[in-house]
Amino acid sequence: MLERTRATIDLEAIVSNWKVLDELSGAAETAAVVKANAYGHGAPEVSSRLSRAGCTSFFTATVNEALVVRKTLGADPIVYVFNGAMGDDLAAAATNNLTPVINSLSQLQAWRASTLSSSQAVVLHIDTGMNRLGIGMQDIAEAKALLTEISVSIVMSHFACADEPDHPMNDEQRRQFDQITKEWPGATRSLSNSAGLGLLDCAYDLVRPGIALYGGGSPLPTKRPLQPAMTVEAPILTVFDVPAGANTGYGATKRFDTPRRLATVGIGYADGLPRSLSNQGFAYIGGERCEVVGRISMDLTTLDVTNVSAEVQPGVAAEFIGRYADLEQQAAAAGTLGYELLTGIGPRVERVWHG
């Protein structure tokens, strides 16, 4: 019996995925990206479990996220901040031994003016063509001039199109990256996120997988399959029959031509089940697929269970993400990606960790 809508997180699956990716990345170090509360899986739980498994480098997006990881893991692991740090956050980063990434000349100037510059080497993010974040190629000379007395520990960049292996941007960015890393010969080179691990010879010295740790993203040529880490289930609240001609839900957007058996479950868009899954999404009950019918509302979703032969009654679980309900397929049905679906699972959903 499932009383509450729940996200069950399998920490063993995340460790297994990290090991599989570590194997795939060859000699490169495999870090863990735990931003956005470890893509919704719980940054303290995920980072401490991965730390025990041997991971020593963790990437977050913000200083606040990094502080959570630092507090959980103690002094040793390296905790990076992708977005860098400004103002008071720079002081917090220095006090807590965090490593903000330098993404622009202005971040580099602020770093030089802070106490961080006396104690730490810098991580430089170079924009090799995505045009989103990072020091532009045209600013390299100026960056070098600002770095005369500061050493560079990592030179990183980020792919725009790694999930499309044949996209010409991948080779172009790799070429730019090879060019730019020659400027800092001793530095650790890092280019690949999860999808980059599917491209030839892009692991360099350090890889930064996020979504693949959690079992999502585009397929990768791993020896063992990646396992889904999060299962999202909601309890059936009520089961009822409707005659031919009946509608269901707000706006009466679904009309049934034949008599149907429906089950309404306790999950809605306030839990992070996107409203765009209305009449598009699916769930699994006892391993059998059923469709979302009508509009998803704030707290409720209705399923057509007419053809489900497994037991359907209040308290039975309907799985929306997990072993049966594939994350990326559900995300595609919502017109989005696994990233957005995972990070959108809301705080009302109870989280339970295993392993």
Ligand X SMILES: *Cc1c(COP(=O)(O)O)cnc(C)c1O
Q: Which residues are catalytic?
A: 35, 250
Minimum distance, C-beta of residue 208 to ligand X, in the bound complex (Å):
4
Alpha-carbon span 225 to 241, nearest angstrom: 40
Residue 63 CA to residue 45 CA, distance in Å, equals: 18
Strand partners, 282: 291
Take residue 180 and report the two structure tokens written for it: 């730019």
How far is it, in rounded angstroms, from Cα 351 to Cα 232? Answer: 9
Given a contact cutoff of 8 angstroms between Cβ atoms, the answer to whether 266 and 237 are in contact is yes
As a whole number of angstroms, the distance between CA 179 and CA 353 comes to 44
Select 205 or 299, whichever has its Cβ closest to ligand X.
205
If binding means CB under 6 A, how many residues of this protein chain bind ligand X?
A: 12
Q: Establish if 174 lies at the interface with ligand X (CB under 6 A).
A: no
Least distance to ligand X from the beta carbon of 125, Å? 7
Of 275, 276, 248, which Cα lies nearest the Cα of 260? 248
Q: Is 100 a residue that touches ligand X (CB under 6 A)? A: no
116 binds ligand X (CB under 6 A): no
The minimum distance between CB 60 and ligand X, in angstroms, equals: 10
Q: In the range 21-50, which residues lie near ligand X by CB under 6 A?
A: 33, 35
User: Which residues, numbered 125-164, are part of the site for ligand X (CB under 6 A)?
Assistant: 158
- Binding letters toward ligand X, positions 191-230, x by CB under 6 A: --xxx------------xxxxx------------------
- Look up residue 333 and give its two tokens: 């049905």
Residue 30 or 248 having the CB closest to ligand X: 30
C-alpha atoms less than 13 angstroms from C-alpha of 264 in its C-beta half-sphere: 15
Among 18, 80, 82, 177, the residue binding ligand X under the rule CB under 6 A is 82
Contact residues for ligand X (CB under 6 A)?
A: 33, 35, 82, 158, 193-195, 208-212
